[in-house]
Structure formats: C-alpha cells, structure tokens
C-alpha cells in the first residue's frame, strides 16, 4: 500500500516561478522547444520513505497541450521546501511528454508538498504533489503495520503477502483514510489497537493487540497512521505556517 507523528508539522510550499509566452533559454540553461498548457502526475506521488532518503520510485510528470496530447521539449522545474532535493531540478520533457526526477526528502518527518512547474503558453502551470518523510517513530510504525495490520487494512495483495480484505464481512479502513482516522482521538486509537474493535463498539473482527504490541509499539502505529492520513491530519490547537 502507499505509505504523522502524533502531532507533526505540515510543510507547505509557496510555489516560485516565472514563465514566458514563447520557448526560450531557461535559468537552468535548458532550451525548451515547445510549451504546453497542463501538467499531470504520471507516477511517483504519495510515496513514503525515511527522512533524508531518496524515494524508491522517481517522480514522473507529463506536460500536455490544450487537446490533451503530450508535449515534447517542454521545460519542467521541480521545487520543494528547504531540505528537499531533486535530481535533476529542471528537465525537458521526452518524446512521451514526460519529465522524470529523483526526490530526496528533508530531514524532518511529515508531509511534504513539492511542485512541478512548466511555463505554459501564457502563464506558468503548477502541479502540487504530496510525499511523506517518516521519522524514527513513524518508520517503526510502518514496520509494525506491515507485519500485523496490512494483511487486512490493505485491499491490495502483493507478491510477499496476500490480502485478507475481501474475506472480511466488515471492511477495515486503509491507514491512509484520513476522513475516518482524523476524527478519532489518540486515546481512542490506543484503545481499539490494544483491546480490539469491541472496545469502541466496532467490529469484533479487529482483534486486540495489547499482548502483542508494547505501549511504545502502539504509539508508533498511531504515529504512522497520523503521518499517512489523506487528507492530512491537523490536530486541534496546532498552528501551521507556510515554509
């Protein structure tokens, strides 16, 4: 499955960029030969990896024209919050209209909003992309959910593990389901993990893990659920600023 401390800061990006109406030499030294009117993500969004590491899959975006056809030779520039690195940070789209970059996450755990920008025919066009950096506690939570939780909470089977999701009468929520988990307090999450579904009048198909996971383990799973929430988890009382 696609991969938040209990209260983590969300890093937001203020996009910076200027464009021109006609292809020209960019500040990166690249010489675009065409411009498009839209930019979409092809793959590599909504990944999770340890802080400071390179995402497993490259980020790939595609530039299209007004008719939805791919555009070759359009400039794409990648931007992110402080600490996020791209290799390359600017690239011309290939014959399929795609631009590819490797993304290294920052050293602070949490949600990172990065962007891909293309000049466009009349104004810059920007695409926002979400990636997640896992701190130590969240990494532990990721390992534990792989071992104990994903077989039921992840509806997709993999070569390493066959999902049990389709066999369950009551379908578990994916750990990315922020619409569900963001409404739950940490205390409620702790209770349901330790004592099972009936502790909160939920399905008995959710077993208790109080004798399997230590209190530290349970907090790590909660931290992982928080950082993976989509939409992002924003605990009450926390002040968020742009960075």
pLDDT in tens, 52-97: 999 999 999 999 999 999 999 999 999 999 999 999 999 999 999 9
Residue 151 parent element (H or E): helix 150-153
Same domain? For 99 and 167 the reply is no
Q: Is residue 200 part of a domain?
A: yes
Average pLDDT over residues 129-149: 96
Range of the domain at 184: 136-228
Global pTM reads 0.78
pLDDT at residue 26, rounded to an integer: 63
- CA dist 75 and 91 (Å) reads 6
Same domain? For 102 and 151 the reply is no
> Residue 112 in contact with residue 80, Cβ under 8 Å?
yes
- CA dist 142 and 171 (Å) reads 21
Helix, strand, or coil (residue 113): strand
C-alpha angle 235-241-243 in degrees, rounded to nearest 5: 125
Residue 16 scores a pLDDT above 60:
no
Helix, strand, or coil (residue 108): coil
Last residue of a domain, one of 134, 151, 171: 134
Same domain? For 211 and 173 the reply is yes
State the DSSP code for 62: E
Q: Which residues pair with 31 in a beta bridge?
A: none
Q: Is residue 191 part of a domain?
A: yes
> Residue 113 in contact with residue 43, Cβ under 8 Å?
no
Q: Is residue 110 part of a domain?
A: yes
């Amino acid at each position: 499955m696609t991969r938040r401390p209990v209260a983590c800061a969300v890093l937001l990006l203020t996009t910076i960029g200027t464009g021109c109406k006609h292809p020209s030499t960019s500040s990166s030294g690249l010489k675009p030969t065409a411009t498009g009117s839209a930019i979409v993500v092809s793959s590599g969004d909504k990944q999770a990896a340890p802080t400071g590491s390179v995402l497993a899959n490259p980020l790939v975006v595609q530039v299209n024209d007004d008719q939805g056809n791919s555009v070759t030779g359009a400039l794409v520039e990648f931007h992110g919050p402080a600490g996020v690195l791209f290799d390359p940070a600017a690239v011309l789209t290939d014959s399929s209209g795609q631009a590819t970059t490797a993304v290294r996450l920052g050293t602070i755990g949490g949600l990172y909003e990065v962007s891909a920008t293309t000049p466009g025919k009349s104004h810059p066009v920007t695409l926002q992309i979400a990636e997640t950096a896992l701190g130590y506690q969240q990494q532990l939570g990721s390992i534990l959910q792989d071992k104990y939780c994903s077989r039921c909470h992840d509806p997709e089977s993999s070569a390493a593990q066959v999902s049990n999701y389709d066999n369950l009468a009551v379908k578990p929520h994916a750990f990315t389901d922020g619409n569900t988990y963001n409404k739950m307090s940490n205390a409620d999450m702790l209770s349901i993990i330790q004592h099972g579904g009936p502790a909160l009048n939920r399905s008995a198909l959710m077993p208790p893990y109080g004798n399997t996971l230590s209190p530290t383990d349970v907090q790590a799973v909660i931290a992982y659920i928080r950082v993976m929430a989509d939409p992002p988890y924003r605990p009450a009382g926390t002040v968020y600023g742009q960075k």
